[in-house]
Amino acid sequence: MPTTLLQSNLPGLNLVHRGKVRDVYVLPDNRLLIVASDRLSAFDVVLPDPIPGKGEMLTQMSNFWFGKTAHLVPNHLLDVPLQSELPEGTNLALYARRSVVTRRLKPVPVEAIARGYLIGSGWKDYKATGAVCGISLPSGLQQAEQLPEPIFTPSTKAAVGDHDENVSFDSVVDAVGADLAEQVRDATLRIYKWAAAYAAERGIIIADTKLEFGTDEDGKLYVMDEMLTPDSSRFWPADSYRVGISPPSYDKQFVRDYLETLGWNKQAPGPHVPAEVIAGTAAKYAEALQRLAGIALD
């Protein structure tokens, strides 16, 4: 059965970061132990109720994509037995499917987003300006319409409780330099195009996705954190997609749509989520994992 973990507790390990979903611990030899909890964030606010098994599904999905795309861009995973890194007495069953050992990298301070369809904040920007992140788009596009070509639309990396903001590519160049900015843009679009084609063969549209990158001590670029999960991407079932609406999805849009009915101001603390929305969200994550990766977590 899927386990439930709202917050990790690994005595003896140095916790260096507790993010919206992941808890990060330092290991010897310039490595990290990353634990995906069952916390759910929406509109950049961590909600009080966990989604049972979510961290396991996110980790298994990410590991699947990291393996599939290693020929495109190197990633942060290390082939190390997890049990050898956990403190003695740790419940291995609780952590086994939600934890990874990785390289410790210097994060690139940008959310690397690829968009193939016009939805979410991109749709809002387009309606207001006719452009997304400074990229002019054809006039007359509709909500959820496929773009002529996938585009790189970065955003700032917000602290917990703050909101990411879309920025131009020039802003990324100013932040990290032209060479690294171009590497990140090219890697993001390369991964998105490959994954979108793969998913399309399985009846799923990847509307957009957010990737994280880091560099090692030699400046080599790696994709890290998570990859192409329901938390970082919009997955639409192809058979129910149509232009002009926000399509049904396998991601946390299910929760976002519920929250939009509450009149919530999208500031912390977040509201509680009903049991049926929690169960429905877990089911959507599980179906995406099954359809894309062929993995079922009983």
Q: How far apart are CA 209 and CA 119, in angstroms?
A: 11
3-state secondary structure of 77: strand
CA 95 and chain centroid, separation: 20
Say yes or no: 129 and 89 in one domain. no
pTM of the model: 0.92
With both helix axes pointing from N to C terminus, report the angle between 169-176 and 178-200 in degrees, rounded to the nearest 10: 130
Each of the 298 residues of the chain gets a pLDDT tens digit; together they read 789 999 999 999 999 999 999 999 999 999 999 999 999 988 889 999 999 999 999 999 999 999 999 999 999 999 999 999 999 999 999 999 999 999 999 999 999 999 999 999 999 999 999 999 999 999 999 999 999 999 999 998 755 445 568 889 999 999 999 999 999 999 999 999 999 999 999 999 999 999 999 999 999 999 999 999 988 999 999 999 999 998 988 877 778 889 999 999 999 999 999 999 999 999 999 999 999 999 997 6
Look at residue 133 and tell me if it is in a domain: yes
pLDDT value of residue 195: 98
- Who contacts 243 (Cβ-Cβ below 8 Å, separation ≥6)? 142, 143, 144, 145
- Note whether 86 and 95 are within 8 A (CB): yes
List 114's β-bridge partners, or say none: 152, 209
- Note whether 180 and 214 are within 8 A (CB): no
Q: Which two tokens stand for residue 288?
A: 């995406």
Q: Which helix (H) or strand (E) holds 209?
A: strand 204-215
3-state secondary structure of 295: coil
Among residues 53, 71, 105, which one ends one of the domains? 105
Look at residue 84 and tell me if it is in a domain: yes
Say yes or no: 98 and 119 in one domain. no
Residue count (the chain): 298
For residue 87, the enclosing domain spans 14-105
Say yes or no: 26 and 63 in one domain. yes
Say yes or no: 116 and 235 in one domain. yes
Look at residue 25 and tell me if it is in a domain: yes
Q: How far apart are CA 17 and CA 224, in angstroms?
A: 15
Cβ neighbours around 241 below 10 Å, total: 17
pLDDT value of residue 161: 47
